[in-house]
Amino acid sequence: YCSGVIGVEADGSIASDPAKQFDCAFGHQLGSVLRAAGLGYEDIVEMTTYHVGLQQHLTAFMQVKDRYIAAPYPAWTAIGITELAFPGALVEIKIIAKLR
In the chain, where do the E strands start and end? 2-5, 44-52, 75-81, 91-97
Please report which confidence band the pLDDT of residue 15 belongs to, taking 50, 70 and 90 as the band edges.
Answer: very high
How many helices (DSSP H) and strands (DSSP E) are in the chain?
3, 4
Give the span between the Cα atoms of 18 and 88, in whole angstroms. Answer: 10
pLDDT band at 66 (very low <50, low <70, confident <90, very high): very high
Mean local confidence (pLDDT), 9-14: 93
pLDDT in tens, 17-44: 999 999 999 999 999 999 999 999 999 9
Other residues' Cβ atoms within 10 Å of the Cβ of residue 69: 18
- Average pLDDT of the residues in 3-23: 95
Between CA 56 and CA 82, with CA 84 as vertex, the angle to 5 degrees is 50
Mean pLDDT of 56-85: 97
Give pLDDT, residue 89: 97
Cα(58)–Cα(63) distance, rounded to whole angstroms?
Answer: 9
Mode of pairing for the β-strands spanning 91-97 and 44-52: antiparallel
